[in-house]
Structure 1
Amino acid sequence: MPTENLLIIDAIGPFFRHYKPKRINWSKIPFSHLENESGLKPKVIASAIEDFRTFCEACSSYGYNAVTLDDVAHLITDDSYDDSLRAKITQYRELFGLLIKIANEFGLKVLFTMDVMFFNEGLLRRLSRSPDKVALWLNEKLAELFQDVPAIAGIVMRFGEKDGLDVQGDFKSKLLLRNAKTTRRFLQSVLPIFEQHNRLLIFRTWSVGAYSIGDLIWNPKTFNRVFDGIDSPALVISMKYGESDFFRYLPLNSNFLQSDHKKIIEFQARREYEGFGAYPSFVGWDVEEYLTQLQSAKNVIGASVWCQTGGWGKLRQLTFIRNSSLWVEINTFAIAQLWNGKSCTQAIENFLALKQLDVSHESMVEFLRRSDVVIKKLLCVPELAKKQLFFRRLRLPPQLYVFWDRIIIDHTMKRILSFLVEDREQALADGREGLENLRQMIEIAEHNGIPSKGLNFQLATFEILAKAREYFFLPYSESVAVELFALKETYKRRFKRNYSIVLNFEPAPLKKRHVHRLLALLLRPQSKYRLIDEVVTLRALAWIYPLVKHLGKKATPKFANKQAMGIDVLFK
């Protein structure tokens, strides 16, 4: 069983070069875009192959030794599939076979992703969303796949998130595993196939909080109920660095310290909540601290770095390929260097040498230090971000009014923040400090030869965020509202690919005191469930949610039910 030091990077970027939607779902290869009525589009596929070679050459030079590709659903077939789908899967097998060969030329192993579980109409009829039937079916199909394609190093399974509402194509995934007992039984059923064929099963603990298994990412009790006593050389547990998504201010995920299982830690170089690579968002010092804390954890055998995957957004740099972001590249490089024992300052110096940038090490360190302040004090509200607040089975995101490439500035958000942020003067001061650091970054770049791409876009975006703080944390002012509308209009004219800014100063449907009482009821300041959670937020709220949704539909942003999996999944 391969147990070498794994440094994994996602390789979906080559499949997006010709993808044209205004807002892109970056969670998976857009398979339907690659296809036409007769199968795969020759020109699109040829371009993807060329870009994949470029990608492999770059990430191999950065120190990565494995890539992930989407997905298993497009590699295996079933008796229920019609002839056209079978033919298409044959073409995908040929394509992925060639990509595996290219990756191997650069010393990169290839792992394929899959959701538990992907379905189409035929599979739904055959398997009826039964975990036991799915496990038996996968055993048969994966055994065939591993025998037919021996170069596949393993499978990365995502169990707690399904395809977004906008995903189109022959397959769509659904949440299958709903509790710890079923998840444990599923793993025990499929692991022998991986053992027999000497492949890795990398099982991701990330979940959006649906069903009782939804707290697997942070809850040691759920973690132990799933994994305790499963002793398989094929199993690797993959966890995000914190107890939530890829946000700042999160403590190290304590589940790394829970077991002796082989584990890998997930980082995100292309920050989906911090501009998608459009502007500097350096993570080196955070990663350095997480890796220092990980030294006491057993059997952490690797890291998985997302350089393209994640989020819904209009900004569309393709890492290492087209319009590649220097800021994503430096994160990607720094994480690999840190994993291999270098310090953060050494990683920065080595990156400048690799890219042959005529920039002094000292000026680049200062530039990135200031970028860290900008993100942590202006994109985030520190007081809010540092709070450990949970709703049902999820930790509340440290960013509320900035999510993916949307900025929500309305009366409901103002009332929510008035409950969550007590020191409003400090929040305003943090915003001013962040904006001043950004202006200093621009000066440093101008005087020291640091590439400035994205800085003007960041400044225009963050000026809106700074002005939004005046609306959120001061009494309502008509002049602030007018300034925000003016900033928005200028911003839209200047930048084609911009943040979507929701401005609405109409009174919220719920009074301030009602919002505060509701939040006090729903949010808890620790991960441990309260009695009220067991009775109300976890159980009763799931039953009455349809009514709550109807009554509160004006308070919910429209995109919340159109992007990702929809807000409804949070109440499963």
Structure 2
Amino acid sequence: MISRIKTLAFITLSLLIAYLMALQINSFLGISFKEKELPKVPKYESLIDEKTDTVQSGSLNLRLIDMGGVGIVPDSADWGHSYKHNVSRFDDVILGKAPFVDSINFARVEKEFEIYVDSMQRFDYNGIVFRGFLEFVLFDKVSSGTDIYPETSLYRARHKKLRQTFNKLFKKAQEKGLKVYLYTDMVALTPMLKNYFLKRFGKIDVLKKEFWEVYQFALEELFEEMDVDGLVIRIGEAGAIYNKANWDYSSELYVRTDESVRLMLTSFLETVEKYNKTLIFRTWSIGIGQIGDMHTNPKTYERVLKNIQSENFVVSTKYCKGDFDSYLPLNPTLEQGAHRKIAELQARREFEAFNSIPVYVAPLYQVAIQNFSAKNPNFEGVWLWAQDGGPLRSGPLSIYPFHGFNIFTDANVYAISRLLKTPSANIVNITNDWVAETFGQDSVLIDSLTKFLLKSQNVTKKGLYIKEFAQWDVRALGLEPPPMLWIFKWNIVGGGSAVMSNIYYVSKNNVDAAINEGFEAVAEAKKLKQLVESVQGRVSKNKGGFEKMLSSIDFQINLFTSLAHYRNYFLSYYQWLDTGSSKAKNNWQLALKEFKREYAIHMSKHNGNLDFPAYNFREANVGIQVADRTNITIWLSRIMLILLVLSILLGIPVLQKSNTNFPLKSLFLNIWQSLFKPWSADNIPQQKNDTFYSFIWLNGMVIGSLAIFSSGIAPVFIIVMQTSLLLYLASLFLLNMKQIAQKSISLLSVLAPILVILSLLIAITAYRGPMFFWSSFWTNPRFLIGFLTLFISIILYAYYVLYEKLRKLFNKTRLQSIAQILIIQGIQFLALGTASFVASLEKSLTVINDELVVLPGGLSRILGITTHLGIPKSIPENLIIIGISLTIIGIVLSLLKQKKTIKAS
């Protein structure tokens, strides 16, 4: 009776603990949304009514441009496969060994630079941003001058040569009226510099003034030895995706707190002010650490930066409240603050197919520039990215203005340059002028192509965004997802349950409108193509570019058709998961057939096309595999559920008392006792080979259930889980070898609570398939709380069952039982930590997520899952430490008990 009361008390306490934990998890994962205040961009009809410019306004003082495509080699063989963010500029110019610079290739770069600078001078840009910093520094002013790079160091010789060579470009830019700003991530490192820091400070200590003094000395060198006018610093993106292969210059994310940002900036400003140069600080903190929303939250911005005051200090941030997506409010931090401000604009829109489809954002950017100018007297200009942003080699081979299809990028660069000189200029007149310069002076041609450009962005928004989701300010999974969430990011069409279920949840009241929008985009793109084709005979200049523009529209129609059917499929599919509607089921099954047909056409036309490359549907296709297998997984789930339930019910004592023998009889009774009488000391007789058959049955139940739950497409996930199970059982058997002969099945039955968890999962998938579980998990708070409460409490009960089995059946003391549990759990942690350390935590999470399609796969292709979700990268090491500690504690407790037993005897 006491044991029964104790068990009930434990179950009650477990449920309470599990419920409280479930509430906390739900508060983190819960989804909420509110309406956004989006910029009001005039439609074509209202723009065309303005025949003349409005009141003239003064030009903006800072008109910066990136390096465009200067120094980027069009290596077509390697294009289209990498999501690395390093553009590999000057790859064929800078050599690892002496003479360090390839003079022939540098001569080509010099010509490119002259052409580009001449164009940008003609467009009235007055500053150019050049990525580079450590490559030009010797650290001669640090201590003896050779503490970081000795006299014989390869770095010293290389940097001298690079400084001498690239300063030629900087001088040419200044001669053309463009100031030169070097650009670096912080913390920027080379192996020798990192070793110096570790030797001197013991770590990368961004909270030490002396740490930043090293970079101050570096900056002094640059200002004294090179023709540069300032430095641009970024802290929010760094790490492996920005590092270049076989090039040991890297950056790491160490600056994550208010204090470290302020110390970094005040240190750099001391040097910048001394030389009367300019420090431009990018507030692109993107959710990293304490300062995560500094780039969009005025309160955080003020908290971090309000005490930084200098005329030599400029704050640069993206014009919108987020990344370069559409459907975003203007950035409120650009509307206030005492610092000089510039807005970052992107001419080659990375999330809108890198301009391989019609993308003309001048009207949007005009609204932004006018808004910031009107609201903030400290707003001084723009930094336009003609080439930069996103993984260059994952998209089209477009290197502005030298290689590939750059028509829409050029239109944006031209129009924005005009707006920077006259923010109130008439955008129709500006567009007319670009068309005339590019394709000819025919008035019908000019009017038609201007209409095409001014209408193009709205069509692109319809095809690439789901308005019913994008128009809302959404909070989900503890994050603020981007408006184009179903394509996350660039060309990666999503299939992850966390993404698709949340998009459906936000859009569910207007699913038909969300679906129809995709087909409207296709229809409108076809109309614009007809408009452009109607003036083809009037083109007098750049006829090749015009032909490419028509191909771009064809690509847009083809891509949008595939995306429209995919949108129809996944919204209908999640509608069916939500409602069970037979209409929704018919819709998603029909839409899926249509998508597969259009997807095949899309791949046949554009896979490997360097100008108009196919989108990446890998993740989407994994999600489709799950949907395709929905019916079979439902029926397999029902069969498996019967087997799981029978594994429990066949242990009912009434059945066991009968004289009828049936296979696995002793196993089923042990399972029943483990679940409902874990305190029982009854040793149930077992027959020859029972242990083997019992193990096969239990392992089959576990692996079979996991295979069904993962739709049979996650081999690595299943191998990991099976390995964990085998390790658990092996540890348990080895620790009880002396008593195992007649009690092996009793020991196997400690898996009984796991069968209950599997029954719970399989019962859910038996209803509408595995994605019904995930859809409910992400969007239904009651389901989430209920499931987690049961799941966590059963896990806790599993430990209780193991403890009671060891105590009563194997005659272990309380201390011995606890010791064994600690050892077993320690071994599990140690194995998991070691595996994730060897493979790397990021890679481990990526592989599992790619199989289960839970989170958007794009997370792994940007900063990584760990960085985006704030998962500590030290988890593998911590698991190893915890595992070793638990194992040692368990062994010590066991030895203590043995000592007491020996003394007593």
Whether these two folds match at TM > 0.5 is yes
Partners of 2:166 and 2:478 lie apart in 1 by: 37
What is the Cα deviation at residue 16 of structure 1? Answer: 1.4
2:717 alignment counterpart: none
Q: Are 2:502 and 1:416 aligned?
A: yes
Aligned runs of 1:148-163 on 2, under 5 Å? Answer: 148-149=225-226, 151-163=227-239
Q: Are 2:416 and 1:305 aligned?
A: no
What is the Cα deviation at residue 356 of structure 1? Answer: 4.8
Q: Are 2:327 and 1:286 aligned?
A: no
* Distance of aligned partners of 1:561 and 1:250 in 2 relative to their CA distance in 1, 3 Å threshold: closer
Q: Is the 8 A contact 2:777 2:783 kept in 1?
A: no
* SS of 1:355 mapped into structure 2: helix
Query: Which residue among 467, 480, 488 is the counterpart of 2:565?
Result: 467
Q: Are 2:427 and 1:129 aligned?
A: no
Q: Are 2:127 and 1:66 aligned?
A: yes
Of 175-184 and 348-357, more deviation after overlay is shown by 348-357
Q: Are 2:169 and 1:113 aligned?
A: no
2:616 alignment counterpart: 500
Runs of 5+ unmatched residues, structure 1: 523-544
1:447 alignment counterpart: 534
* Distance of aligned partners of 1:221 and 1:400 in 2 relative to their CA distance in 1, 3 Å threshold: same
Partners of 1:215 and 1:400 lie apart in 2 by: 19
* Distance of aligned partners of 1:282 and 1:209 in 2 relative to their CA distance in 1, 3 Å threshold: same
* Distance of aligned partners of 1:144 and 1:391 in 2 relative to their CA distance in 1, 3 Å threshold: farther
Higher share in helix: 2
2:451 alignment counterpart: 366
* SS of 1:207 mapped into structure 2: coil
Of 416-425 and 551-560, more deviation after overlay is shown by 551-560
Aligned runs of 1:171-570 on 2, under 5 Å? Answer: 171-294=249-372, 295-312=374-391, 313-341=394-422, 342-358=425-441, 360-390=445-475, 395-402=480-487, 403-409=489-495, 413-422=499-508, 423-449=510-536, 451=546, 452-474=550-572, 475-476=584-585, 477-495=588-606, 496=609, 497-502=613-618, 503-504=621-622, 505=624, 506-507=626-627, 510-517=773-780, 554-556=852-854, 560=858, 562-570=860-868
Partners of 1:561 and 1:41 lie apart in 2 by: 37
Q: Is the 8 A contact 1:314 1:405 kept in 2?
A: yes
Partners of 1:32 and 1:345 lie apart in 2 by: 40
Of 126-135 and 276-285, more deviation after overlay is shown by 126-135
* SS of 2:282 mapped into structure 1: strand
What is the Cα deviation at residue 416 of structure 1? Answer: 3.0
Partners of 2:774 and 2:327 lie apart in 1 by: 31
Q: Partner letter of residue 483 of structure 1?
A: E
Q: Is the 8 A contact 2:237 2:253 kept in 1?
A: yes
* SS of 1:155 mapped into structure 2: strand
Q: Are 2:86 and 1:16 aligned?
A: no
* Distance of aligned partners of 1:279 and 1:196 in 2 relative to their CA distance in 1, 3 Å threshold: same
Q: Is the 8 A contact 2:319 2:330 kept in 1?
A: yes
Listed one character per residue, the Cα deviations across residues 83-122 of structure 1 (whole Å, up to 9, x for unaligned) are: 2222222232123211112222322111110111111222
Q: Is the 8 A contact 2:565 2:592 kept in 1?
A: no
What is the Cα deviation at residue 435 of structure 1? Answer: 1.3
What is the Cα deviation at residue 565 of structure 1? Answer: 2.1
What is the Cα deviation at residue 323 of structure 1? Answer: 2.3
1:536 alignment counterpart: none
1:77 alignment counterpart: 138
* SS of 1:389 mapped into structure 2: strand
Q: Is the 8 A contact 2:776 2:783 kept in 1?
A: no
2:161 alignment counterpart: 91
Of 555-564 and 292-301, more deviation after overlay is shown by 555-564
What is the Cα deviation at residue 72 of structure 1? Answer: 0.8
Listed one character per residue, the Cα deviations across residues 320-375 of structure 1 (whole Å, up to 9, x for unaligned) are: 21225110011111112122222211220221233253453321232123312212
Partners of 2:846 and 2:170 lie apart in 1 by: 46
* Distance of aligned partners of 1:335 and 1:387 in 2 relative to their CA distance in 1, 3 Å threshold: same
2:711 alignment counterpart: none
Instruction: Give the TM-score normalised by structure 2.
Output: 0.57
* Distance of aligned partners of 1:409 and 1:353 in 2 relative to their CA distance in 1, 3 Å threshold: same
Listed one character per residue, the Cα deviations across residues 434-463 of structure 1 (whole Å, up to 9, x for unaligned) are: 111110111111012372241111211111
* Distance of aligned partners of 1:14 and 1:556 in 2 relative to their CA distance in 1, 3 Å threshold: farther
Q: Is the 8 A contact 1:166 1:564 kept in 2?
A: no
Higher share in strand: 1
* Distance of aligned partners of 1:30 and 1:221 in 2 relative to their CA distance in 1, 3 Å threshold: same
Q: Is the 8 A contact 2:182 2:231 kept in 1?
A: yes
What is the Cα deviation at residue 42 of structure 1? Answer: 3.5
* Distance of aligned partners of 1:464 and 1:410 in 2 relative to their CA distance in 1, 3 Å threshold: farther
Partners of 2:331 and 2:382 lie apart in 1 by: 14
* Distance of aligned partners of 1:329 and 1:486 in 2 relative to their CA distance in 1, 3 Å threshold: same
Listed one character per residue, the Cα deviations across residues 48-67 of structure 1 (whole Å, up to 9, x for unaligned) are: 22211111122221221111
* Distance of aligned partners of 1:172 and 1:392 in 2 relative to their CA distance in 1, 3 Å threshold: farther
What is the Cα deviation at residue 285 of structure 1? Answer: 1.4
Of 361-370 and 504-513, more deviation after overlay is shown by 504-513
Q: Is the 8 A contact 1:188 1:230 kept in 2?
A: yes
* Distance of aligned partners of 1:108 and 1:427 in 2 relative to their CA distance in 1, 3 Å threshold: same
User: Which one has the largest radius of gyration?
Assistant: 2
* Distance of aligned partners of 1:392 and 1:51 in 2 relative to their CA distance in 1, 3 Å threshold: farther
Q: Partner letter of residue 181 of structure 2?
A: L
Q: Partner letter of residue 71 of structure 1?
A: G
Number of aligned residue pairs: 547
Query: Which residue among 206, 222, 228 is the counterpart of 1:145?
Result: 222
Q: Is the 8 A contact 1:29 1:70 kept in 2?
A: no
Q: Is the 8 A contact 2:173 2:180 kept in 1?
A: yes
Partners of 2:565 and 2:428 lie apart in 1 by: 34
Of 550-559 and 392-401, more deviation after overlay is shown by 550-559
* SS of 1:407 mapped into structure 2: coil
Listed one character per residue, the Cα deviations across residues 32-55 of structure 1 (whole Å, up to 9, x for unaligned) are: 554444323344333222211111
Partners of 1:337 and 1:393 lie apart in 2 by: 41
Partners of 1:518 and 1:200 lie apart in 2 by: 51
* Distance of aligned partners of 1:37 and 1:467 in 2 relative to their CA distance in 1, 3 Å threshold: same
Q: Is the 8 A contact 1:177 1:213 kept in 2?
A: no
Q: Partner letter of residue 518 of structure 2?
A: G
Of 360-369 and 304-313, more deviation after overlay is shown by 360-369
Partners of 1:210 and 1:551 lie apart in 2 by: 24
* Distance of aligned partners of 1:154 and 1:362 in 2 relative to their CA distance in 1, 3 Å threshold: same
Partners of 1:93 and 1:16 lie apart in 2 by: 19
What is the Cα deviation at residue 411 of structure 1? Answer: 5.8
Instruction: Give the TM-score normalised by structure 1.
Output: 0.89
